[in-house]
Chains A and B, each alone.
Chain A
Amino acid sequence: MTAGLSGNLVAVLLGIVTLLTVASLVILALKSRLPGNDYSELVLRIRTWWAIVAIFAFAILMGRIAAIILLAFVSFLAFKEYISMLPIRRSDRQVVFWAYLSIPLQYYWICKGWYWLFIVFIPVLVFLLLPFCMAVIGETKGYLHATGTLHWGLMITVFALSHAACLLALQTGTSRPDSGEGMLLYLVFLTQFNDISQYFWGKLLGRHKVTPLVSPNKTYEGLLGGVITTLLLAFPLAQVLTPLTPIEAVIAGLIIGIGGFIGDINISAIKRDLGIRESGRLLPGHGGVLDRVDSLTCTAPLFFHFVHYTHY
């Protein structure tokens, strides 16, 4: 990293720490002013945010490889949660192992900067070979269901999420040679910020439900308020973290605002289908890793391809 960008990175990270500090103080104030309410969920959630921010900041400041390894680990945890909530046939155990192996490989292509392999590996090679492995094992009952659910999980938790890491491998073209870290921080921070602001606006003004059957807490008011707030932040942040022009920053903000909503709804629909509320318990107050990165599964590929198309 060169001095300029790493300075901006640190400044934005400090900004995030400030936001969290303010949130922690607000909760402390609420606790002393209105002691009647139960804040335990909120307290847990903020505490987990502190841990997430600490780990993410550490990895991003340690450099490209550390950040890629962290994201690979996030993919691993998300895939494990996904595969653990599904009903699985006994005969597919071996194939699930091969599916796991695609995680280090996918992130290895990113480390190496092999864009072509990165983009075809899971959607083409794994898509064709894993069902073949299943067929060779020979259990045909439930075959389509098993291949379908397995590949859907790989696409969401590995392929889609790995686009966030692939931002680190973009280093040609018009931008500065080290803009990857900045764009990763931009994407992840805005996606999570968008989640929170949609939740916040929904709580504050929410009336009209978007998907009453899948996720009854999602309202048009929350969506709109969230997207606008995200846009307001996307614009100035793009100046310090990314090579995006002002107009592109607005489009990126829209992509993250709306994409986050789509990713969230997709994962909610799966949990609804399987009849579970949270994908795991690893992140107290949030649920599982998949619950936390649900929006990122949609914003990461959309944002990546937008940046890739406009700047590289």
Chain B
Amino acid sequence: MCQILRWLFFALVVQPLVLVAIGVNVVCNRKYLPRRGPAIIVANHNSHLDTLVIMTLLPMQMLTRIQPVAAEDYFLKNRILAWFAVNIIGILPIVRKFVPGKPDPLMPACKALTGGRVLIIYPEGSRGEPEHMTHFKKGIAHLARRYPQVPMVPVFLHGLGRILPRGKYLPVPFFCDVFVGKPLYGEKNIDVFMWKLKSSFETLSHQQQFPAWD
């Protein structure tokens, strides 16, 4: 039942919204987007639409295998939102803070990767100021180190922070450009991996001049 609802939601709401009303434009390297799991998509985070756009760019038959990694404290805070997030979007809820003595917060992500899922991870941890990239958190590097054979595809999204920024409920159509980078693989050294990931996003975000938004 939920599967049908989910499929209908993406076919009738998300795809028309993303492909027609917003008209997402993949600028480069669409070929690097994963076609099968396990894989990780790493993206910058400006808007709730980020997840919907990434999920639309992947083939529809992969829908059941995609899991956006999302903060438990935000998405499970009330029952309606939790039902929608888990059953329709298919999020993988995680705890944002590591507390000693509590179970490993990366555990659910590890399980999903072992099960061949495609994860969407936002290493900024929060949407933050629209169209401003903030510091990347290191959890992603730890996950990558545990799964060195899983490709990690960097995806830089521009424009969605204008379309639907944090705290707003009405999407306004603007251009949305998607830049896909070469897949990265996990490394022993966390800092080296983080540096590689960051410089990949640097390169992607400098491929084009964007009009000011302030």
Contacts and interface: CB of A to CB of B under 8 A. Distances in A.
Interface string B2-35: 0000000000000000000001010100000000
B175 A80 contact: yes
Contacts of A232: none
A203 interface: no
B37 interface: no
Interface in B158-203: 159, 162, 165, 168, 170, 172-175
Given A84-B159, A88-B213, A281-B25, A93 B175 contact: no
Interface string A279-291: 0111000000000
Contacts of B174: 80, 83-84
A89 interface: yes
Interface in A75-133: 76-77, 80-81, 83-90, 93-94, 96-97, 100
B101 interface: no
Contacts of B170: 94, 97
Nearest to B164: A93
B23 A80 contact: yes
Contacts of B165: 93
B175 A84 contact: yes
B212 A282 contact: no
B158 to A, nearest CB: 10
Interface string B128-162: 00100000000000000000000000000001001
A90 B170 CA distance: 14
Nearest to A92: B172
A145 B104 CA distance: 53
A134 to B, nearest CB: 14
A274 interface: yes
Contacts of B211: 84-88, 274
Given A87-B211, A88-B211, A81 B172 contact: no
B23 A282 contact: yes
A93 B23 contact: no
Contacts of A90: 130, 213-214
Contacts of B25: 280-282
A86 B210 CA distance: 9
A93 B168 contact: yes
B172 A93 contact: yes
Interface residues of B, number: 18
Contacts of A77: 23
A85 B174 CA distance: 9
B196 to A, nearest CB: 29
A280 B175 contact: yes
Contacts of B214: 89-90
A292 B172 CA distance: 24
A281 B178 CA distance: 13
A90 B23 CA distance: 21
A94 B23 CA distance: 19
Contacts of B130: 90
Contacts of A97: 170, 172
A100 B175 contact: no
A36 B27 CA distance: 28
A86 B214 CA distance: 12
A87 B213 contact: yes
A89 B162 CA distance: 10
B15 to A, nearest CB: 16
Contacts of B209: 275-276
B175 A81 contact: yes
Contacts of B23: 77, 80, 282
Interface string A38-80: 0000000000000000000000000000000000000011001
Nearest to A76: B173
Given A84-B159, A93-B162, A281-B25, A100 B172 contact: yes
A298 B175 CA distance: 25
A80 B173 CA distance: 7
Contacts of B168: 93
A97 B21 CA distance: 12
Interface string A134-177: 00000000000000000000000000000000000000000000
A83 B173 CA distance: 9
A282 B159 CA distance: 16
Interface in A256-312: 274-276, 280-282
5 contacts: A80-B174, A80-B175, A84-B174, A84-B175, A87-B211
Interface of B: 23, 25, 27, 130, 159, 162, 165, 168, 170, 172-175, 209, 211-214
Given A80-B174, A90-B214, A281-B25, 16 more contacts: A80-B173, A83-B174, A84-B211, A87-B213, A88-B212, A88-B213, A90-B130, A93-B165, A93-B172, A96-B172, A100-B173, A275-B209, A280-B25, A280-B175, A282-B23, A282-B25
